[in-house]
């Protein structure tokens, strides 16, 4: 009986010390670099996307020029990529769902490689997006 009473007395104290999980939030300013040898289309559209927020396994892209713009992608870390890299899935820009893209973290933030369809969706432009804290 004593151990039962002791458990009842200590139970509230144990729950008081329960750790709370608050995911880390990282915010980045974005810079876009065209890496297609023939140049890139949609430069104005991508330049408008100038902020990113990473929380756990998702990254959200926003625009300070268009507060209604928001695109979220899911991050998947796999053994086939370096430890600091992840595949980004479910991104949709300029009305097109993009293929998976590689995001790699570095000391100042991250770099993301994207292929964005041109006005003629049979072709695309290659971009590197640099996110800096």
Express each pLDDT in 111-126 by its tens digit: 999 999 998 888 999 9
**Residue 94 falls in which region: left (phi positive, over 0), alpha (psi -120 to 50) or beta:** left
What's the Cα-to-Cα distance from 102 to each of 59, 62, 108, rounded to whole Å?
A: 12, 19, 17
Query: In the predicted model, what is the mean pLDDT of residues 35-62?
Result: 94
Is the predicted pLDDT of residue 17 greater than 90, yes or no? Answer: no
What is the pLDDT, as a whole number, of residue 18? Answer: 58
Task: Please say whether the beta carbons of 113 and 99 come within 8 A.
Answer: no
**Residue 13 pLDDT level (bands cut at 50, 70, 90):** low
CB within 8 A of 102, min separation 6: which ones? 81, 85, 86, 87, 88, 112, 113
> Which run of H or E residues covers position 76?
strand 70-76
Task: Please say whether the beta carbons of 51 and 64 come within 8 A.
Answer: yes
Task: Please say whether the beta carbons of 133 and 106 come within 8 A.
Answer: no
- The DSSP output letter for 58 is E
**Residue 33 pLDDT level (bands cut at 50, 70, 90):** very high
This prediction has a pTM of 0.80
What is the pLDDT, as a whole number, of residue 75? Answer: 96
Angstrom distance (rounded) from CA 75 to CA 58: 5
């Amino acid at each position: 009986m004593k151990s039962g009473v002791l458990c009842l007395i200590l139970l509230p104290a144990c729950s008081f010390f329960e750790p709370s999980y608050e995911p880390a939030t990282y915010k980045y300013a974005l810079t876009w670099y065209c890496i297609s040898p023939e140049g890139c289309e949609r430069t104005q559209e991508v330049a408008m996307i100038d902020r990113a927020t990473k929380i756990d396994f998702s990254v959200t892209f926003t625009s300070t020029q268009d507060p209604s713009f928001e695109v979220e992608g899911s991050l998947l870390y796999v053994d086939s990529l370096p430890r600091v890299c992840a595949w980004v899935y479910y991104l949709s820009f300029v009305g097109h769902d993009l293929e998976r893209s590689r995001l790699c973290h570095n000391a100042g933030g991250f770099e993301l490689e994207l292929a964005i369809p041109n006005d003629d969706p049979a072709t695309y432009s290659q971009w590197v997006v640099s996110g800096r804290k």
